């Protein structure tokens, strides 16, 4: 208690991270006030000489008016913020005449009312009649001998253990260079107060602080997770922020610092009261457009925005390096280094035509320890269409079915897929037929549609399919199919070399076969059917196994001896490409004269 209480309160305020809890009783909390209060009592215990020696360094010493700072720096009331995290319980007699109770009340109120401690300071005001102290040398009853019951002191202290969790918020006032939790202050110049109010956010990866100092101060923050050993051999945990690059802003600084471990030290050139932030930077990388066609040379604008979590831009001149897996930057290379202006930089990525297996350009930007990536999709849209008639050869007026198979052979979904048939009239759009429309076709998917029609002539149809890719480009493909319309026909004529002969005379028949259709006939043969006047019939194949192209003619002949007038029917047949038979007929007659023998008859016995 008394000066011991002062030492307890002062020590815990200067080293708040070394104590789990403290119990000062009847402490001197304002040495200046107490000096004059005791001086007014004529210094009954001769303590002031020790105070003057302590504050001045000589036997004569100094008074508060001569060395005010020396008295302030020994007064717990001057640094109540330091004790915000410290559980404190005090005892003080209300009628203490040597260290007045306002010292305890003032410290309690200074901490509780302004600094909102997690555990409020407790003051036990001991009633005036609770203790009877002996008088001083002058016979005065100063009531300055109260000591709290040890059991109550230890009961309080037993509730607490040293908290090793790093506080999210600190407010420190210091008169010397030393560490506090994850903060280290390094003063310059004469003795003076330095004040630092700091907090950090794990989600924002940011340290915010307010500095107040009349001299340049150097502050250091243990941003990481590795504890650092300080006074008393106590390990002080860090904030738990990541190893990355931070933007240090304030106190004459605007620079990037890459943090790995230990303290991040920041020399401050500004004096007075100012803000200091340490915030992790981010690299926001984007590509526009972020999708291009791989069939042609294209350009994408790559933009990097470099700023901290408080939206402060990276310093001008900050180096940034780009890398791409596909394409080249303005220097013709896959890597490109440039500098940031007003927190951002824009460059171009040129992508040349590529094979379909090249489907993505990954772009990475690096600023010190920070990297960011974006990508450009490289698409190769493609369509295939196949038009297939159910028969390649038909007769005129026969119904035919066309089937159209559309396949997405590219690597991206196509929409608004439409198929148009030119109806066999290329260049004339008026009669074009829309066969199917408004189809969405995923990659590798296929669909089909069909139509029926009647043809009167050989027709070549062209089917054209179009589809729209995500870049609003239209992809096309064509397919043609020819259907041959045939009109097979055959003619035959029979020409005897004589049309009138005598019985037993030889006749030569010549057969002329003409393919009068528009397609080749195979297995052509001629059969001669003859009937005589005597009722005799005979059929004879006169020529066979002939292939006859359209418009061509061939001949065959036979010779025979006729005895009776003969009527001849000639039939020519041939097989068309569809396997059906066509035929042609002709008739002719050869008249046969018989020999008449006239014999004279003499009838004897008549006149």
CA distance 76 to 83: 9
Q: Do both 225 and 285 map to the same domain?
A: yes
State residue 231's pLDDT score.
75
CA distance 196 to 171: 6
State residue 79's pLDDT score.
97
Q: For position 509, which CATH number holds?
A: 2.60.40.10
State residue 533's pLDDT score.
78
202-225 burial, b at 16+ Cβ within 10 Å, e below that, comes to eeebbbbbebebeebbebbbbbbe
Mean pLDDT over all residues of the chain?
94
**Does residue 289 have a cis bond before it (omega within 30 degrees)?**
yes
Q: Is residue 392 part of a domain?
A: yes
State residue 62's pLDDT score.
86
Q: Do both 557 and 517 map to the same domain?
A: yes
DSSP one-letter string for 391-417? -SEEETTEEEEEEEEEEE-SSS-EEEE
Q: Could you report the per-residue pLDDT of 257-292, keeping only the tens digit for each? A: 999 999 999 999 999 999 999 999 999 999 999 999
Residue 534 — pLDDT band, cuts 50, 70, 90? confident
* pTM metric for this prediction: 0.77
Rg (CA), the chain: 58
- Out of 437, 461, 486, a domain closes at 486
Q: Is residue 54 part of a domain?
A: no
State residue 359's pLDDT score.
94
Rounded to an integer, the average pLDDT of 492-500 is 94
State residue 92's pLDDT score.
96
Name the domain count of the chain: 4
* β-pairing verdict for 272-288 and 319-324: unpaired
State residue 278's pLDDT score.
98
State residue 298's pLDDT score.
97
Rounded to an integer, the average pLDDT of 130-141 is 81
State residue 604's pLDDT score.
65
Asked whether the predicted pLDDT for residue 603 surpasses 90, the reply is no
CA distance 328 to 349: 6
Residue written as tokens 């008639």?
A: 389
Q: Do both 458 and 501 map to the same domain?
A: no
Q: Are 558 and 542 in contact (CB under 8 A)?
A: yes
Q: Do both 242 and 340 map to the same domain?
A: yes
- Out of 429, 458, 486, a domain closes at 486
Rounded to an integer, the average pLDDT of 337-363 is 96
Neighbours of 447 (CB within 10 A): 15
Asked whether the predicted pLDDT for residue 137 surpasses 80, the reply is no
State residue 60's pLDDT score.
60
Residue 539 — pLDDT band, cuts 50, 70, 90? confident
Asked whether the predicted pLDDT for residue 536 surpasses 90, the reply is no
State residue 269's pLDDT score.
96
Residue 453 — pLDDT band, cuts 50, 70, 90? very high
Rounded to an integer, the average pLDDT of 392-399 is 94
State residue 87's pLDDT score.
97
- Out of 360, 379, 398, a domain closes at 379
Range of the structural domain that residue 479 is part of: 383-486
Q: Do both 361 and 255 map to the same domain?
A: yes
Asked whether the predicted pLDDT for residue 134 surpasses 90, the reply is no
Q: Is residue 206 part of a domain?
A: yes
* Assigned token pair, 451: 């139509």
Q: Do both 460 and 523 map to the same domain?
A: no
Q: Is residue 124 part of a domain?
A: yes
Asked whether the predicted pLDDT for residue 133 surpasses 90, the reply is no
State residue 602's pLDDT score.
61
Q: Are 63 and 107 in contact (CB under 8 A)?
A: no
Asked whether the predicted pLDDT for residue 600 surpasses 70, the reply is no
Q: Do both 311 and 449 map to the same domain?
A: no
Q: Do both 272 and 304 map to the same domain?
A: yes
Least confident of 116-125, 227-236, 366-375, 396-405: 227-236
Q: Is residue 135 part of a domain?
A: yes
Q: Do both 210 and 336 map to the same domain?
A: yes
Q: Could you report the per-residue pLDDT of 413-431, keeping only the tens digit for each? A: 999 999 999 999 998 999 9
Q: Could you report the per-residue pLDDT of 54-103, keeping only the tens digit for each? A: 888 665 668 999 999 999 999 999 999 999 999 999 999 999 999 999 99
Q: Do both 334 and 257 map to the same domain?
A: yes
State residue 476's pLDDT score.
97
Residue 470 — pLDDT band, cuts 50, 70, 90? very high
CA distance 529 to 160: 132
Q: Is residue 430 part of a domain?
A: yes
Asked whether the predicted pLDDT for residue 323 surpasses 70, the reply is yes
State residue 422's pLDDT score.
95
Q: Are 284 and 372 in contact (CB under 8 A)?
A: yes
* Assigned token pair, 423: 């109806």
Q: Do both 194 and 280 map to the same domain?
A: yes
State residue 412's pLDDT score.
96
Q: Do both 473 and 503 map to the same domain?
A: no
Rounded to an integer, the average pLDDT of 134-155 is 88
Q: For position 103, which CATH number holds?
A: 3.40.50.1820
Half-sphere exposure of 140 (CA within 13 A, CB side): 12
């Amino acid at each position: 208690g008394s000066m011991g209480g002062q030492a307890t309160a002062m020590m815990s305020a200067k080293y708040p991270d070394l104590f789990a809890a403290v119990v000062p009783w009847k402490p001197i909390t304002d040495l200046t006030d107490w000096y004059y209060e005791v001086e007014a009592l004529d210094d009954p215990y001769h303590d002031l000489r020790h105070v003057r020696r302590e504050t001045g360094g000589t036997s004569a010493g100094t008074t508060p008016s001569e060395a005010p700072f020396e008295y302030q720096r020994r007064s717990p009331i001057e640094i109540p913020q330091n004790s915000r995290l410290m559980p404190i319980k005090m005892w003080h007699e209300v009628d203490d005449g040597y260290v007045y109770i306002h010292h305890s009340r003032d410290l309690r109120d200074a901490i509780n009312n302004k600094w909102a401690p997690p555990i409020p300071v407790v003051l036990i005001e001991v009633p005036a009649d609770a203790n009877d102290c002996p008088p001083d040398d002058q016979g005065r009853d100063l009531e300055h001998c109260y000591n709290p019951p040890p059991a109550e002191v230890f009961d309080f202290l037993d509730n607490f253990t040293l908290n090793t969790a790093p506080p999210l918020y600190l407010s420190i006032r210091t008169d010397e260079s030393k560490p506090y939790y994850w903060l280290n202050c390094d003063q310059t110049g004469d003795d003076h107060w330095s004040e630092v109010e700091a907090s950090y956010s794990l989600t924002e990866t940011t340290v915010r602080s307010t500095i107040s100092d009349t001299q340049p101060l150097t502050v250091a923050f243990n941003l990481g997770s590795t504890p650092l050993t300080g006074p008393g051999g106590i390990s002080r945990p860090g904030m738990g922020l990541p190893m990355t690059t931070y933007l240090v802003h304030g106190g004459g600084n605007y620079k990037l610092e890459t943090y790995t471990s230990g303290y991040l030290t920041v020399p401050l050139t500004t004096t007075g009261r100012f803000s200091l932030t340490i915030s992790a930077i981010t690299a926001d990388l984007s590509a526009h457009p972020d999708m291009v066609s791989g069939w042609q040379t294209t350009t994408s604008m790559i933009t990097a925005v470099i700023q901290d979590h408080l939206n402060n831009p990276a310093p001008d001149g900050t180096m940034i390096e780009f890398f791409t897996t596909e394409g080249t930057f303005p220097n013709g290379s896959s890597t490109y280094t440039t500098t940031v202006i007003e927190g951002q930089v824009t460059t171009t990525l040129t992508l040349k035509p590529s094979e379909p297996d090249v489907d993505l350009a990954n772009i990475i930007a690096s600023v010190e320890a920070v990297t960011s990536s974006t990508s450009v999709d490289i698409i190769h849209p493609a369509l295939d269409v196949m038009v297939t008639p159910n028969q390649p050869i038909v007769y005129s007026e026969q119904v035919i079915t066309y089937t159209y198979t559309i396949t997405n052979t590219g690597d991206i979904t196509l929409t608004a897929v439409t198929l148009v048939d030119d109806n066999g009239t290329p260049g004339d759009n008026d009669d074009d037929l829309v066969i199917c429309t408004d189809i969405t076709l995923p990659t590798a998917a296929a669909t089909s549609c069909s139509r029926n029609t009647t043809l009167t002539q050989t027709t070549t149809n062209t089917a054209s399919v179009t589809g729209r890719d995500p870049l609003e480009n239209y992809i096309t493909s064509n397919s043609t199919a020819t259907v041959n319309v045939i009109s097979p026909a055959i003619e035959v004529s029979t020409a005897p070399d004589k049309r009138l002969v005598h019985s037993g005379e030889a006749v030569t028949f010549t057969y002329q076969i003409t393919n009068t259709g528009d397609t080749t006939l195979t297995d052509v043969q001629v059969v001669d059917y003859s009937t005589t006047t005597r009722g005799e019939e005979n059929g004879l194949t006169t020529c066979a196994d002939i292939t006859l192209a359209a418009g061509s003619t061939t001949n065959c002949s036979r010779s025979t001896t006729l005895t009776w007038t003969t009527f001849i029917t000639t039939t020519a047949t041939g097989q068309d490409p569809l396997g059906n038979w066509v035929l042609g007929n002709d008739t002719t007659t050869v008249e046969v004269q018989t020999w008449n023998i006239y014999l004279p008859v003499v009838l004897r016995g008549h006149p």
